[in-house]
Amino acid sequence: MEGSPDFGRARALPLHPCSWTPDTDIRAQARILWGPDALHLRLSATERHIRALYVGRPHPVSEDSCLEFFFCPLPGDPRYFNFEFNPNAALYLGIGTGRHDLVRLLVQDEEALFRPRPFTFEGGWGITYRIPFSFVQSFFPGFSPAPGASLRCNFYKTGDKTPRPHYLSWSPVSGPVPDFHRPRDFGTLTFA
């Protein structure tokens, strides 16, 4: 599993347009697997006009074409991580309970830790990466996935400053303005 997860085993989770902007032809999906020591993610988007200006950190990658995963590791704990990647594998990583108390995390050697691998295909792009349980447990010591356990999360596709700004999510997001930092709108996945 660690070398090359078989994402074909994971159900594709489609992301749907949010009501904040007119619908575009941009579409996205997410796949998630878990192994003995990490979550493995594959997010992809069909997007003709890709914006990928930011490289490295600390940049607001949500202004670029961006694929995101937010998740609450423990039931009853309001804190969540947000992982946001652009096509250059530039990462914005935060932890908090909402937009107003979010703390930016700068991880030493994030390339070795998360192993982000951006890819392109005809008409789009995507990224695969891993989130080691040891990293999650450094903030949430009780995190220990097991069959039948659940994870509250959401997947997003954004592009604040792309030629056609857009917002997509897996679990519907409420609110009158673009804001994905709403854990109450996260959906639930169950570890199989």
Q: What 3-state DSSP class applies to 175?
A: coil
| Phi, psi at 96, each rounded to 5° | 170, -170
Q: Count Cβ atoms below 10 Å from residue 136 Cβ, excluding itself.
A: 19
For the residues 86-107, what does the mean pLDDT come to? Answer: 94
pLDDT at 10 over 70: yes
CA–CA dist 166, 161 (Å, integer): 9
CA–CA dist 148, 155 (Å, integer): 21
pTM of the model: 0.94
For the residues 99-118, what does the mean pLDDT come to? Answer: 94
Residue 14 has what pLDDT? 97
Residues 154-182: pLDDT tens digits?
999 999 999 988 999 999 998 888 889 99
Confidence of residue 18 (pLDDT cuts 50, 70, 90): confident
For the residues 111-135, what does the mean pLDDT come to? Answer: 97
Confidence of residue 56 (pLDDT cuts 50, 70, 90): confident
Residue 1 has what pLDDT? 40
Of 8, 5, 11, whose CA–CA distance to 187 is shortest? 11
For the residues 128-146, what does the mean pLDDT come to? Answer: 96
Tokens of 85: 């990647």
Q: Which residue has the higher pLDDT, 191 or 133?
A: 133
CA–CA dist 51, 65 (Å, integer): 5
- Residues 134/184/85/133 CA torsion (nearest 10 deg): 10
For the residues 62-79, what does the mean pLDDT come to? Answer: 95
23: number of CA atoms within 13 Å, CB side?
Answer: 6
Q: Which residue has the higher pLDDT, 2 or 29?
A: 29
Peptide bond into 75 cis (omega under 30): no
Fold adopted by 11-190: Immunoglobulin-like (2.60.40)
Q: What 3-state DSSP class applies to 133?
A: helix
Q: What is the mean pLDDT of the chain?
A: 93
For the residues 11-40, what does the mean pLDDT come to? Answer: 93
Asked if 81 contacts 92 with a C-beta cutoff of 8 angstroms, the reply is no
